[in-house]
Amino acid sequence: METLIQHNLPYEIIPGITAALGAAAYAGIPLTARNHSRSVRLLSFYQSDLFDQDYWEELAKTRDTLVFYMSSGNLDLIVEKLIALGIGQDKWISVIEQATTPEQRVVTTTIHDYAKNNTGSQWLSPTLVIIGKVAALQEQLQWLPNSLGKNEYFQPLAKNKKEEARA
């Protein structure tokens, strides 16, 4: 809403579901599944000083499903920290790019394989990241194929005059 107001764009609020629930369902990932997860944590990690060391350790050891909003730019750091703190080999990661759009693409792998094969990847917004045992269910339960393109469904907003002056 802040961006819409900032750009003088009219808007209407229509109650719905959170992006975590919508993106996960559209990708075929149950956020809580019996024998896979007891609970879900909704997190954002858009700057590196948001979590202290104790919290990182807790995240690496939890059996909860972790859902990261606004975190694709820091995803390599998230994966690196969790691995360094001993996240289990049984933990998976799903990166849902441009969720619930015709351009949706989901990459699912173990978190350790992500570190080996996907470090440095750039993800188109909006991107949601799911970490936990439930992510392993995505390949079995996905009901839509990945988009084959890398087109941006949401075009970036043009900078307003104030932002251009600051740039």
68-120 per-position pLDDT tens digit? 998 999 999 999 999 999 999 999 999 999 999 999 999 999 999 999 999 99
> Which residue, chain included where needed, has tokens 């919508």?
22
Question: Is residue 157 over pLDDT 60?
Answer: yes
Closest Cα partner for 31 from 163, 159, 137? 137
Contacts of 115 (CB under 8 A, 6+ apart): 79, 80, 83
What does the pLDDT look like over 139-154, one tens digit per residue?
Answer: 999 988 888 777 888 8
CATH number of 2-146: 3.30.950.10
Domain ranges of the chain: 2-146
